[in-house]
Structure formats: C-alpha cells, structure tokens
Amino acid sequence: MSYKIPLFDLNYGEEEEKAVIDTLRSKWISTGPRCDEFEKLFAESLDAKYALTVSNCTVSLHLALRLLGIKDDDEVIVPSLTFVASVNAIKYVNAKPVFCDIQSYEDINISPEAIEQAITPKTKAIIVVHFGGFPCDMEKIMGIAQKHNLKIIEDACHGPLSEYQGKKLGTFGDISCFSFFSNKNLSTGEGGMLVTNNEEYYNKAKLLRSHGMTSLSFERSKGHTTVYDVLEFGYNYRLDDIRASIGIVQLKKLKSDLDKRALLREKYIECLENIEQIIIPFKNHSAFVSNYIFPIVLKDSTAEKRDLLRAKLQEDGIQTSIHYPAAHRFSIYKDLQCNLPNTEYVADNEITLPMFGKVTVGEIEYIVASIKKHIQNKI
C-alpha cells in the first residue's frame, strides 16, 4: 500500500545519478578507484586508520570473526535484540552465540553486567550493537574485555558518525562493521565497510575479501602485475565501483542529514514525552548520534496490543516497523538456552516510527496525534 508517511525515504538526488553515470562512462565498474576513494573518505570521517569496502555488513562481520581467530566451539557474546546477521556470522565460523540481555526498557543496548555474567573459559569475543546509533557503554565493556582478554567487534550498522566520549563509534573495538543497505543513514542498496586501526587485520581482510588473491583485477589492469598467488581460503566479498560512487556522494551528505534527524528527534520527544503509556529509549542522550531510527516502547503492554496499535497507525497512513524480533526466539536458535526478560519485553512492545531527513514537523505532529488517539481509545 501507499503510505501518507513512509518509515524511510532515500536521500537521493541528481548527485547520485551523476556519480553512477560517470562511473559507467569510466569503463571500470567492479572494485577499483571509486572503492579506494570511498574507503579513504570513510576512514577519515571516523578518524580511523583503515577502512575496507565489502559487499554487505554481514560479510564484514564474518571477516571480523575470522580475522580475530574465532573458531569451532569458541563462544561469542552478542545481544539478542539485533538483526539476525549479527548472530548468523558467529555460526559462519562454527562458534557459539551466547545471547545477552539489554540494560533496560530505557537503554536498549547490551548490558555490561550481563556480559560479565555470560563469560566462560570458552568466551573469545563480544559483539556490541549500537542500537539506533546510540552507543553502548563502551567504557565498561572495554574494561570487561581487557580484564578477560576478549576481542570486541562493533556492529555499527546504525551509527555512522555517532559519537561516544568525543570519538566516533567504530573506533573503540578491534574491528567495526558498517552497513549501507537501502534503509541505512548512508545508502548504496547493498554494501558495507570493515574498519580497523590494526594494519595486520586490514591487510588480511583485503586478502580474504578477494579469494585470498595477492592482487586485484584493477591492479593488474594498470600493469602492476600479470600474475597472482592465492595465500588464504578467501571469498568474493568485494563491493563494486558503481555502489562505491553512490557511497561517496552519500557520505558527503551524511552530516547534514544527521543534523536534520537530530532536530526531528527533539520534536518527537517534545510531542511524546507527556504520553505516560510510552517509553522513549535513550530519551536523555545528549551526544551526537545518527538517529538511524526512532523507537518507542509501550508500557504495561503485550505483543498483541502493540500489533493492534501498529495496525491502527497503518490505517492512518503511517508506516511503522519493529526493531527487532528477538534473535534467540528464532527457530534456528531455540536450542540456545537463555533468560532475557528485558529483551523479550522490548521485542514484543517496541514500535519504530518514521525517521528520515525529509519528515516534516507537521508529519511528526500527525503521527503523535494518531498515537494519542488510539491509546486514549485503548486501541
């Protein structure tokens, strides 16, 4: 159906079209100079040493786990309130996901206390997911990791340019992973980035990204070499220059778009904060963040009541979503025993409201008026 107010809209214009046309006319459309430029600009935007384009964030997570030496029967701590890719990547290396609860209904990021309780002699790494672009408590989590000699992977899909204690998300862990899926702050359709400050990880990731080969087609086309060796059991995880050219334009637009989202978040909070039946996660967070989504959590509710409210909002022309179904409830992971009461409540009672730079103040007022109406009518 066509919505009066969609959940998300692309921040695309003539600049992206021109970038694609210019790339097509360059006659080089696979991994090449645009990917190199995108990587350089992205690393600079985070003040990180190395960034590597990949075909999507899921493969970035897979590479990160391989680079850190995670293997059969190792345990990796991960939140259940995340997109399932964060968990699936652990299984790609035959390791065991250990699900962890979130802090609270107000802070729906992974709990440092729960992380510490989940550590066993088999634990080798922690995957943190910065929900909605809001940072996890990295000071505590890094302290735990150092204490137990664990690696940290930042799933920063939601948080390009988000900040924590004056540094960009994606620069705290050993390796971080970003997504450029079509609904992300920075959209290329499909695509991702692996970021690290470790030169050894970067060089090996570059090798693994392209079949373990010692040179890329673009390097050979420039006459640097005509032969190559295969040093590792690698993959075809490359991004192409067409998508990279879009990513370059999107990256240049990103800060402006995030500034708009920050103002929209303030308006949402102003309109919603007096509705006592609603919790606004991260309500008092003040540092600069991406505001990838705007989640609310219903108080004293059930999944059935949440779904009914979503249906009513849909009737009013408002598209909503859920972030996320709890991963530990999926059939494939039901054998992994865990007790995650906060996660389960939020998974059953969270609603994601429209959030993108083109949303207007009037549309936010309409969304909130619709929510108030249906809550007052007891849905």
Closest CA to 364 of 253, 288, 263, 258: 263
Q: What are 358-373's pLDDT values in tens digits?
A: 999 999 999 999 999 9
- pLDDT per residue of the chain (379 residues) written in tens, 0 to 9: 689 999 999 999 999 999 999 999 999 999 999 999 999 999 999 999 999 999 999 999 999 999 999 999 999 999 999 999 999 999 999 999 999 999 999 999 999 999 999 999 999 999 999 999 999 999 999 999 999 999 999 999 999 999 999 999 999 999 999 999 999 999 999 999 999 999 999 999 999 999 999 876 556 556 566 788 899 889 999 999 999 999 999 999 999 999 999 999 999 999 999 999 999 999 999 999 999 999 999 999 999 999 999 999 999 999 999 999 999 999 999 999 899 999 999 999 999 999 999 999 999 999 999 999 999 987 7
Structure tokens at 196: 């690290």
**Residue-level pLDDT at 378:** 75
Cβ atoms 81, 338 nearer than 8 A: no
User: Can you give the pTM of this predicted structure?
Assistant: 0.95
Structure tokens at 95: 């390791």
Angle at 253 between CA 256 and CA 209, to 5 degrees: 130
Q: What is the rounded distance in angstroms from the CA atom of residue 372 to the CA atom of residue 361? A: 16
Query: 3-state class of 275 per DSSP?
Result: coil
**Residue-level pLDDT at 228:** 86
Q: What are 26-42's pLDDT values in tens digits?
A: 999 999 999 999 999 99
Between the alpha carbon of residue 363 and those of residues 5, 123, 185, 311, 370, the distances in Å are 7, 47, 20, 18, 11
The answer to whether the Cα torsion of 325, 327, 328, 330 is positive or negative is positive
Pairing between β-strand 175-179 and β-strand 151-155 as defined by DSSP bridges: parallel
Q: What structural domains and CATH numbers belong to the chain?
A: 14-250 (3.40.640.10), 254-376 (3.90.1150.10)
Closest CA to 350 of 303, 317, 316, 315: 303
Residue 239: other Cβ atoms inside 10 A: 27
Residue 30: other Cβ atoms inside 10 A: 15
Q: What is the rounded distance in angstroms from the CA atom of residue 101 to the CA atom of residue 76? A: 14
Cβ atoms 369, 378 nearer than 8 A: no
Cβ atoms 17, 245 nearer than 8 A: no
Looking from the CA of 140 toward its CB, the CA atoms found within 13 Å total 13
Pairing between β-strand 278-279 and β-strand 50-54 as defined by DSSP bridges: unpaired
Return the residue matching tokens 């970067």. 202
**Residue-level pLDDT at 2:** 85
Q: What is the rounded distance in angstroms from the CA atom of residue 237 to the CA atom of residue 97? A: 23
